[in-house]
Amino acid sequence: MSYFCMNWILLILFTGPTVSGSLVKGKVGQNVTVPCFYSVKRTQDITSMCWGRDSCPVSKCYRTLIWTDGWKVTERYSRRYTLEGNLQMGDVSLTIVNAQEADSGIYCCRVEISGWFNDQTSNHKVVIEKASISTASPHTYTSEQTSAPGTTSKSSTRTWPSVSASEAPQTASGPCLSTSDCLDVTSNLQNVSVSLPSQHYSENGLYIGIGLCAALLAVLILALFLT
């Protein structure tokens, strides 16, 4: 019997009481509340409690953050840790003001209840994440107008109008705008192709006539010289 009792005592001392807990997430710069409650049915149920870092030990709190006698806060490590709930109603939730990434970790809430190993303990995991970066809106570029001294300068935003198909410049290689335009271009090409050969033939006849006249003149001079 004594051996069984000794094992039971050692088990409680080394393993501690059974605890419950929760996961609390928050953002950097926000106020994060870690919940903790105990039952208060009458005034005699109001009791002292503490908050600490790391898991709950066998008694008290490691790295104590805050103590209360059940009615008011009696000890506080920093002003960043507050109890904003109704203590007389058993709301002993811890609020971390302006939370930082370094506040992440395990928090112990211990409510001291009279009797051996009757304390209500709970371990809570707190995760503080960086605030998400918002997507920057597109920049609008404005041009400022320099005004005379004593007057207010105005800024204006220019928007270039879109060019319609009818206003776009036409190139010479593009298609004909109408049937008459195509006919005019075709007739001009035909006139050029016909006139060029006739002009070429007239120039050749002129050169032949001059040559014949020169030859006849040379023959006449030679005849006169012989006679």
- Flag whether 93 is in a domain: yes
Cα distance between residue 141 and residue 134, in whole Å? 21
- Flag whether 109 is in a domain: yes
Distances in whole angstroms, Cα of residue 107 to Cα of each of 124, 142, 163, 167, 186: 5, 53, 67, 73, 95
Which CATH number fits the domain that encloses residue 114? Answer: 2.60.40.10
Contact by Cβ (8 Å): 52, 105: no
Query: Does residue 125 sit in helix, strand or coil?
Result: strand
- Flag whether 225 is in a domain: no
- Flag whether 121 is in a domain: yes
- Contact residues for 72 (Cβ-Cβ < 8 A; gap 6+): 87
User: pTM higher than 0.75 for the full model?
Assistant: no
- Flag whether 58 is in a domain: yes
Structural domain count, the chain: 1
Question: By residue range, what is the domain housing residue 56?
Answer: 30-129
Look at residues 127, 57, 133, 65 and name the one whose alpha carbon lies nearest to residue 93: 65
Percent helix, strand, coil in the chain, to 5, is 30, 25, 45
- Flag whether 68 is in a domain: yes
- Flag whether 179 is in a domain: no
Q: What is the pLDDT along the chain (227 residues), one digit of tens a residue?
A: 554 444 444 444 444 444 467 899 999 999 999 999 999 999 999 999 999 999 999 999 999 999 999 999 999 999 999 999 999 999 999 999 999 999 999 999 999 998 888 999 999 999 999 987 755 444 443 444 444 444 444 444 444 444 444 444 444 444 455 545 544 544 554 444 444 444 454 566 677 778 887 888 888 888 887 87
